[in-house]
Every structure is written in C-alpha cells, then in structure tokens.
C-alpha cells in the first residue's frame, strides 16, 4: 500500500499548507463583526469548476494509486511473469504527448484570443487523442494474438485493466473536448471558451503524466528508481 | 480582514445577487422529480435511504428470529441467513448511513448553513441522486434474480464470495452487488465534489472557515475522506468482477472446489482485504464525523451554551480524518500478517482515541451549567454521547492485538461495531431529523410520540447489544446460522438470544411510530415558524420556511459572528444569529470556550 500512502501524504501536505492559510488558529468567539471588520473571502475568486476539477483529479489520482498499490503487492507473488511491451506503445505515447502539446497551444491561443489557432489546436488534440486510443486497441490485439491474453497471467490482467481504465478516462475527456470544440465554432467571443479549454488542458496533462507513470512502471524504470532511492537512504 | 464601510445601523449592505433563471421551476417534474434544488435532492436522498433502512431493519428481524428461535422458521435456512446478513450490513453501512449523512443532511444543510443559494454544480447534484437511486435498484434487484442476493458477508471476502457454495457466488448475486457498489461510488463522487467545492467556494460574505458550524465541518471533512476512500472499494470491486466474470486471478488463489482444481492460480485474497479495509475503516469515520458535527450543534443549541473548545473540535475532526487512513489493518489482525504491522496498527488505532476523547470532553463541558432543554433532539444527542463512549471503549479493547485475536469472530465484535457505528449514528440521524424537520416542512414533529420513540429505541438498543458483549466473551461465534449443538454453549445463552430477539422486534416496531410521526406531522404538526429552537446558525434565518429554491430571497446573508453565540452576556436575547450585527459583547472573551 506504499503508493497510495505516498499519494495521500502528498495530498495531506497540500491540505495542511492550504489550511494553514485559513486562520485555523483564530478565535472566532472573540471576533465581533459589528466592529466594522469583516473577513474577506479569497481575494481572487477561482472558478468553482477549476476547484472541482482539481478535487476530481485527486479522486482519480487516488484510484490509480490504489491500483498501483495492488499491482506492486500482487507482483511479489511467485506466479508473476512480466509482460513484453508491444513497441506500438511508444508511438501511442508520442500521440498522447502531441495531444497534450496541442491543448497547451489551444490554451495559449484562447488567452491571446486567436480563434483560428484555437480551432486548429483543438482539432489536432482530438485527433491525436483518438490516435492514442486506437493505438492502445492495436496493442491489446497484438498482445492477445501473441498469447498474452487477459487471463494468462496477473501481469496481463493488470496491463489490460490499467490501460482500459486510463483509456476510459481519456474517453470521458474526449466528450468534454468535443463539446468545447463545438462551442469554439458556435460562441462568437473567445472569452467564454477560456475556462473549458483550460480545464481540458489540465485534465490532458494529468492523464499524460499518469500514462508516463504507468509506462515507467511497466518498463521497469519506476522499480529501478525506487531501488536507487533505497540505496541512497541506506 | 478588510474594513467595510458601515451603514447607519452598523450593518454591512448585503451584496445583491442577480436573479437566476434556474430558481424558477417550470413544471412539477423539474420541481419535485428531476429537481436541481439541493433541498429537494436532500429529501429524495433521505426518503430513499430511510426506505432502504426499513428493508435492512426487516432483514435484521429475520436474522434475529433465526438466532433467537433456531429451526422454528423453516424458510430461514443457512443460505437465506447469510443473504440477510450480507444485505443488512451493506445496506446499512453504504446505502443508508453514507447516503443519509452526506446525500441527505449534506445537501440540505451545506448551502443553507454557509449562506449559499445552492450547490455549485446543481445539475451534477441531480445526477448524483439518480445514480444513487439506480444503485439501490440494482441492489434490490438481486433479491429477485435466480440464486438470490449474495451471501458472502458484507465484507465480500474472496475467494468464498465468488465460489460455489456461497449464495449468489456463482449466480447473479455477487455481480449485482459489485455493480451496484460501483454505480453508487460514481454517484457519490458527483455528490461529494459538490459538497467539497460548495464549502470551498460558495460561503457567504464573512463566513470564514472558523465561523462555520461544526455540522458543516463534519460533513466537509467526511466528504473529502469519502472521495479518497471509496476508490479503494471501486478498485476492489472492479478486480473481483474481473475474477468472477472473466476468470482472471487477482484475488483467486489456486484452489480445489468440490474436488475439482479450479483454473486459477496465485491470486491473493489478502490483497482484497487490504483494499476493502482501506475503504472500510475511513468509512467508519465518514459516518461518524458528520454525526460528531451534528451532535455538537444540537447540544449547543438545546443547552443554550456556546460549544466548548470550538478550535479543538475542528482540529480533532481533521486529525481523526487524517489518522483514519492509517489504521485499516486493525481489521486484519487474524489474517496472518507480520506482527510488527499489528503493533504499528494497534498504536495508530489507540492514538485516534485522543482526538475522539477531546470531542467527548468538549461536549460534556458544553453541557456543564448549560440551560439544558430535554427536547427530543437533545435526548437523542445525549444518548449518542453515552452510546459512542460505550462503543468506543470496546474499540480500545479490540484495537489491541492480544485482546482482538481471541475475541475476533465472536458476538463481541458484532456488539462493538453496532454500538459505535450502528446505534450511535442512527441516534444522531433521529435527533437531526427531529431538529431540522421544522425547517424542512414548517411544522414540528409530535413531541410525545418523539419521546416515546426515543425511550424505546434508546433503552431497547442497550437491551439488545449489552447482552451481546457477554455472549461474545462467552465465545459465541458470529456468522453462525445455528449454534445449537456446541458443547460450550450453556442454556442461558439460548435464553439470552431469545430475549435479544424479542427486544429487537419491539425496537423495530417502535420505528413505525417514527415513520407515522413523519407523515402525520406533515399535515397536523404544530406550526413551527422560522426558528423554533431559537438557534443561531444561518439555516434558521431564511426569510421563508420552508425555504424556496435559491434560499435567501433577494439578498444572501452577511455573516458577522461565529455559530455559537448563545447566552451572550449583555445581549437582549439568549442567542445572536450569525447574520446579526451588534451588540458588542460586555467583556471580550466572556463566552469563550
């Protein structure tokens, strides 16, 4: 359960930092509003949707951290046979990176108010994300035809379930992206597009990060890094 | 802090909020069925959860009939008994308690208590309820499929949960249970995002975090915990569903079933236990923290006393929330894990008693020299404190490995968790309903009927669960369909079991008085006015009762003080609403806690 505890400690640090700025040590029974002093809420209100997405990403992060915990615990049992990674995963990774870059471009474009660039970037992001998903399906097909089916070994189980879960999250993101893209054609000003584009970009970067993390676990980099840290600590 | 220009009355001009189209319903369906008003959604949640609770109550009756009078009721065979146990446990923990506290009270109270017009994502909030309702339908559907519901026990431990011999293991029961849980978690996540973000973003002007009522603190902390803990159950459910439907080996070890080796190998049943309890232990506090918060408010209001140690109460809530994530393996002392782990988890478990004890002392010190009104809500709140202390103390016993190992799997454990997480939170739910019913309906619940309900429930719960501790110490195992032929069981144990069953039937029947009261008072209850308990918090200060969609009419309130200004020296009334400016207190710190 190391990875989920690590993830939750990071969240706890963020939460503590945030709470420490909320006056938790104040003595509300001594505050008197009629003295003409009224606590102001946060000076720059952030849109609720942005906060909502951040909290949602914490939930998704906890979901995958738990899966990775389960993975590392199951991995230690003797029947585990590591799975050969299909080379197409590297192409898929490139596609997902491109998709994320395109959405970053869309974010910059919407901030500058450039409509054409925005539309192009949104379409590019959508297409490369779809390419990533189809690539993942090809990877599944290759593995199955080579005899690495779902039930053959727990390593395979985890590969299919984790790629599947990641893909479903991206698919959900694509629904939001499609709605944003449709809005880009319909809404006359870019001002109202700013928030949805920013939210899509944040979500995409998160899913890219998550994918790189999963990939590093499968390739074995994560394990080597943890070993290195252990040696340094010892 | 900023200086605010004052009007002639010393009050700050309320911010104007534009009229929102959403707050004007267009048809009966959008007002009462597919409503986006958090208050209607709250009532929907509460109604469905209480209905599920009645089903679970009947299931507990059936179990008790078998235990009290084994063999008399032929339709309760071993399979049916296990199905009743499983469904009773899962329904009560997830579909009743979690849904009622967070979906019911969370939806009703968060926006009103922090001075918001509604939740921040009303549409998602509506979806949250309907997905919860779908989860309930899927769960109830398992009673009507071939093989019936799953009888794996509410913890659903593999491999027995998905093998032949367990009711529903190779039929539909376990599949529907897992799917229902997954749907529930998706629905809850939608609701939970709303509760958390609304508290973060929609508080009225002047409502700092440290001016929030403890009810909101409790629900807020619990929602955040639930958002992070429920994924563990989701992950476990996905993996078990794969094991059951697609034949993977996440949890399924190599095993022989009915003389035949199964086509599985190497899976780890312990892995499921870790995932399950990583959700399961925070779940205890997901239910308890809102109860803590609500009880604090009930006690303060009905004792006309400011809550003692408000800061400590908030810090203790947060500490309990954080600690509850590192105690999960105390449910697994007998699973054969490393003894050093047992030592670690016993230590963390006992440490949680410190912030919890702080809360109990603060409740008692709030009551000290208070002007205590023994209303129905207050009786339930006081009963909660006693019951929670009782259940908490046996928790200290069970938290120690050496004590837990012999007591594990006896009725002692059943008695412990029913006291601490069954009876105690249910008492708070009743207290809260008696307290806030006037705001929801504009009428009081009948007081005489309420007190009858209270005494039968309170004394009855003790008559049921106190003897159960004794049975457990005697070594009577839990989860047994029939203990009749065991040599160590004295005849007195059977008499005690029959006694418990009769009391359980009476206490269950007494709940009908409560249900009757809910409906009768809707029409014939005494009119309550806007603030019958003379309480300070914002939900009692709405211009209309029951509040319409949008809650506040033209102006949202401005908050000038904390939530507990009761019996302030020098004030005209014995309570000062949070949105009232002035008068200046006689001596600074006079009412401190």
**Which candidate in B210, B282, B322 is best for mutational testing of the A interface (most A CBs within 10 A)?**
B210
Tell me how crowded residue B264 is: count the other CB atoms within 10 A of its CB. Answer: 21
3-class SS string, B207-260:
CCHHHCCHHHHHHHHHHHHHHHHHHHHHHHHHHHHHHHHCCCCCCCCCCEECCE
Residue B36 has pLDDT above 50, yes or no: yes
CA-only gyration radius of chain A, Å: 22
Write out pLDDT tens, residues A63-96: 999 999 999 999 888 888 888 899 999 999 999 9
CB contact under 8 A, B6 and A39: no
Q: Which of A35-39, B57-61, B401-405 has the lowest mean pLDDT?
A: A35-39
* Mean local confidence (pLDDT), A41-56: 81
Say yes or no for a CB contact (<8 Å) between A59 and B205.
no
Look at residue A228 and tell me whether its pLDDT is greater than 50. Answer: yes
| pLDDT tens profile B428-459 | 999 999 999 999 999 999 999 999 999 999 99
Among chain B residues, CA nearest to A21: B209
All residues of chain B having their beta carbon less than 8 Å from the beta carbon of residue A69 are 274
CA angle B253, B257, B262 (to 5 degrees): 55
- Residue A69's pLDDT is what? 93
Contact B338, B306 (CB under 8 A): no
| pLDDT of amino acid A53 | 96
Is the confidence at residue A7, as pLDDT, over 90? Answer: yes
Taking CA–CA distances from B306, the nearest residue in chain A reads A29
Are the beta carbons of B196 and A48 separated by less than 8 Å?
A: no
CA A105 to each of CA A175, A183, B69: distance values in angstroms, whole numbers, following the listed order = 19, 17, 73
Flag whether pLDDT at B7 surpasses 50: no
How far is the alpha carbon of A53 from chain B, nearest alpha carbon, in Å?
A: 9
Determine contact, residues A66/B232, Cβ cutoff 8 Å. yes
Pull the structure tokens for residue B265: 């190998």
| Distances B476 to B460, B468, B495 between C-alpha atoms, Å | 21, 9, 13
pLDDT tens figures, B364-409: 999 999 999 999 999 999 999 999 999 999 999 999 999 999 999 9
CA distances from A168 to A103, A174, B92 (A): 19, 10, 31
Q: How much of chain B, in percent, has pLDDT values that exceed 90?
A: 78
**Distance of alpha carbon B382 from alpha carbon A102, whole angstroms:** 60
Q: Which two tokens stand for residue B318?
A: 């947060």
Residue B261 φ/ψ, nearest 5 degrees: -65, 135
For the entire predicted model, the pTM comes to 0.94
Average pLDDT over residues A17-25: 88
Q: Taking a C-beta distance cutoff of 8 angstroms, is the pair B388, B360 a contact? A: yes
The values of phi and psi at residue B2, to 5°, are: -130, 150
Highest mean pLDDT among A13-27, B162-176, B293-307, B539-553: B293-307
Q: Count H helices and E strands in chain A, helices first.
A: 7, 1
Q: What is the mean pLDDT of residues A145-152?
A: 87
Task: Round the average pLDDT of chain B to a whole number and report it.
Answer: 91
Residue B217 scores a pLDDT above 80: yes
**Which residues in chain A touch residue B275, judged by CB atoms under 8 angstroms apart?**
66, 70
Minimum-distance CB partner of A41 among B10, B205, B238:
B205
CB-CB under 8 Å, A74 with B250: yes
B464-487 as b/e: b if 16+ CB within 10 A: bbebbbebbebbbebeebebeeee
Q: How far is A218 from A84, CA to CA, in rounded Å?
A: 9
What is the spatial distance between Cα B508 and Cα B511, in angstroms, rounded to a whole number?
5
Neighbours of A70 (CB within 10 A): 27
CB contact under 8 A, B271 and A74: yes
Residue of A47, A59, A78 to mutate, testing the B interface (most B Cβ within 10 Å of its Cβ): A59
* B91-112 average pLDDT score: 96
Interface test with B, best of A19, A23, A26, A34 (most B CBs within 10 A): A34
Distance CA B573, CA B571 (A): 6
Residue of A nearest to B226 (CA): A59
> What number of other Cβ atoms are within 10 A of residue B139's Cβ?
24
Q: How buried is residue B270: exposed, middle or buried, by Cβ count under 10 Å (0-12/13-18/19+)?
A: middle
Is the Cβ pair A31, B562 closer than 8 Å?
yes
Instruction: Return the H-helix or E-strand segment holding B326.
Output: none
The lowest-confidence range among A47-56, B12-21, B204-213, B407-416 is B12-21
Cβ-Cβ pairs closer than 8 A, A with B, add up to 175
Q: Is B325 in contact with A80 (Cβ distance < 8 A)?
A: no
Beta strands in chain A (DSSP E): 37-38
* pLDDT at A41 (0 to 100): 52
Confidence of residue B71 (pLDDT cuts 50, 70, 90): confident
- Using a CB-CB distance cutoff of 8 angstroms, which residues of chain A are in contact with residue B317? none
Q: Is the pLDDT of residue A26 over 90?
A: no
Are A96 and A209 in contact, with CB atoms under 8 Å apart? no
Q: In A33-114, which ranges are continuous DSSP H helix? A: 48-75, 88-112
Per-residue model confidence (pLDDT) at position B386? 96
Helices (H) and strands (E) counted in chain B, each on its own, are: 16, 3
3-state secondary structure of A34: helix
**Chain B residues closer than 8 Å to A33 by CB:** 206, 559-561, 581
Which two three-digit tokens encode residue A208? 């890219």
Residue A66: which of B12, B232, B247 has the nearest Cβ?
B232
- Which structural domains are found in chain A, ordered by start? 47-220 (1.20.120.80)
B592 contacts in A (CB within 8 Å)? 27, 29-30
Query: Encoding tokens for residue A121?
Result: 């970037």
ipTM of the complex: 0.93
Whether pLDDT at B310 is above 90 = yes
Burial class (CB in 10 A: 0-12, 13-18, 19+), A187: middle
Per residue in B426-460, is it b (16+ CB within 10 Å) or e — as a string?
A: bbbbbbbbbbbbbbbbbbbbbeebbebbbebbbeb
Chain B residues near residue A1 by CB distance under 8 angstroms: 274, 278
Average pLDDT on B201-206 reads 88
How many Cα neighbours within 13 Å face the side chain of B42?
24
Q: Identify the closest residue of chain A to B198 by CA–CA distance.
A: A48
d(CA B97, CA A38): 37
CB–CB contact B248 A38 (8 Å): no
Name the residue of chain B whose CA is nearest to A67's CA: B235
Contacts of B369 (CB under 8 A, 6+ apart): B305
Q: Would you state the pLDDT for residue B112?
A: 96
**Phi, psi for residue B143 in degrees, rounded to 5:** -70, -20
Alpha-helical (H) ranges within B308-375 are 310-323, 339-367
Which residues touch B146 (CB under 8 Å, ≥6 apart)? B171, B172
Residue B470: the pLDDT is 95
3 state DSSP class of B268: coil
Q: Are B287 and B97 in contact (CB under 8 A)?
A: yes
For residue B589, which residues of chain A lie inside 8 Å, CB to CB? 29-30
Distance from CA of A176 to the nearest CA of B (A): 14
Which residue bears the tokens 């010892």?
A234
Residues 137-176 of A with CB under 8 A from B: 150-151, 154, 157, 161, 165
Q: Which of A1, A45, A48 sits opposite B278 (nearest CB)?
A: A1
């Amino acid at each position: 359960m190391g990875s989920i505890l690590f993830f939750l400690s990071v969240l706890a640090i963020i939460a503590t930092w945030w709470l420490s700025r909320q006056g938790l040590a104040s003595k509300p029974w001594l505050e008197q509003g009629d003295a003409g002093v009224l606590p102001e809420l946060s000076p720059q209100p952030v849109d609720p949707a942005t906060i909502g997405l951040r909290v949602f990403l914490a939930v998704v992060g906890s979901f995958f951290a738990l899966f990775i915990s389960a993975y590392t615990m199951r991995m230690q049992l003797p029947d585990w046979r590591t799975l050969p990674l299909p080379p197409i995963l590297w192409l898929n990774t490139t596609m997902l990176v491109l998709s994320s870059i395109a959405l970053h471009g869309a974010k910059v474009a919407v901030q500058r108010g450039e409509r054409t660039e925005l539309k192009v970037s949104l379409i590019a992001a959508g297409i490369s994300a779809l390419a990533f998903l189809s690539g993942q399906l090809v990877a599944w097909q290759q593995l199955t035809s080579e005899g690495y089916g779902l039930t053959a070994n727990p390593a395979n189980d985890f590969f299919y379930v984790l790629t599947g879960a990641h893909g479903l999250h991206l698919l959900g993101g694509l629904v939001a992206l499609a709605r944003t893209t449709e809005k880009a054609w319909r809404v006359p000003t870019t001002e109202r597009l700013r928030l949805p584009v920013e939210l899509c970009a944040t979500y995409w970067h998160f899913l890219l990060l998550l994918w790189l993390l999963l990939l590093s676990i499968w390739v074995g980099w994560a394990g080597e890094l943890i070993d290195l840290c252990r040696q340094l600590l010892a | 802090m900023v200086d605010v220009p004052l009007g002639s009355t010393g009050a700050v001009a309320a911010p104007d909020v534009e009229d929102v189209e959403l707050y004007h319903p267009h048809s009966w369906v959008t007002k009462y069925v597919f409503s986006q008003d958090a208050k209607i959604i709250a009532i929907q949640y509460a109604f469905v959860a209480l209905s599920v609770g009645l089903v679970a109550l009947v299931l507990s009756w059936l179990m008790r009939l078998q235990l009290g009078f084994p063999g008399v009721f032929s339709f309760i065979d071993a399979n049916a008994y296990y199905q009743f146990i499983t469904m009773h446990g899962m329904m009560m923990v997830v579909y009743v308690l979690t849904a009622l506290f967070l979906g019911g009270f969370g939806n009703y109270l968060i926006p009103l208590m922090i001075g918001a017009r509604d939740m921040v994502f009303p549409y998602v909030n509506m979806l949250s309820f309907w997905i919860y309702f779908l989860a309930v339908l899927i769960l109830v559907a398992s009673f009507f499929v071939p093989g019936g519901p799953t009888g794996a026990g509410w913890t659903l431990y593999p491999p027995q949960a998905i093998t032949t011999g367990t009711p529903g293991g190779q039929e539909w029961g376990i599949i529907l249970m897992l799917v229902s849980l997954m749907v529930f978690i998706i629905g809850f996540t939608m609701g939970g995002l709303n509760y958390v973000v609304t508290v973060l973003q929609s508080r009225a002007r002047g409502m700092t975090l440290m001016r929030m009522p403890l009810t909101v603190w409790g629900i807020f902390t619990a929602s955040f915990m639930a958002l992070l803990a429920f994924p563990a159950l989701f992950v476990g459910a996905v993996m078990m569903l794969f094991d059951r439907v697609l034949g993977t080996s996440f949890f399924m070890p190599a095993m022989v079933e009915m003389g035949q080796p199964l086509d599985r190998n190497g899976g780890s049943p312990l892995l499921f236990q870790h995932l399950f309890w990583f959700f399961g232990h925070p779940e205890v506090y997901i239910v308890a923290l809102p109860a803590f918060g609500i009880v604090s408010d009930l006690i303060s209001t009905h004792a006309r006393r400011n809550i003692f140690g408000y800061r400590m109460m908030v810090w203790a809530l947060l500490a309990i929330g954080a600690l509850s994530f590192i105690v999960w393996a105390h449910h697994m002392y007998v699973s054969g894990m490393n003894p050093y782990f047992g030592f670690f988890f016993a230590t963390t478990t006992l440490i949680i008693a410190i912030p919890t004890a702080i809360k109990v002392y603060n409740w008692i010190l709030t009551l000290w020299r208070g002007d205590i009104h023994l209303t129905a809500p207050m009786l339930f709140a006081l009963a909660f404190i006693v019951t929670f202390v009782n259940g908490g103390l046996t928790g200290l016993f069970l938290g120690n490995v050496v004590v837990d190992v012999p007591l594990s799997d006896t009725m002692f454990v059943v008695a412990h968790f029913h006291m601490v997480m069954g009876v105690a939170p249910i008492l708070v739910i009743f207290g809260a309903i008696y307290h806030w019913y006037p705001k929801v309906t504009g009428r009081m619940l009948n007081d005489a009927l309420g007190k009858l309900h209270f005494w039968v429930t309170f004394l009855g719960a003790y008559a049921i669960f106190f003897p159960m501790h004794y049975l457990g110490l005697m070594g009577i195992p839990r989860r047994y369909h029939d203990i009749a032929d065991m040599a160590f069981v004295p005849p007195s144990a059977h008499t005690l079991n029959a006694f418990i069953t009769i009391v359980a039937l009476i206490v269950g029947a007494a709940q009908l008085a409560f249900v009757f009261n809910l409906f009768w008072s809707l029409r014939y209850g005494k009119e309550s006015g806007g603030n019958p308990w003379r309480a300070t918090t914002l939900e009692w200060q709405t211009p209309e009762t029951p509040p319409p969609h949008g809650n506040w009419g033209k102006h949202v309130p401005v908050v000038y003080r904390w939530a507990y200004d009761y019996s302030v020296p020098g004030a005209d009334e014995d309570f000062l609403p949070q949105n009232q400016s002035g008068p200046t207190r006689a001596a600074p710190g006079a009412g401190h806690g």
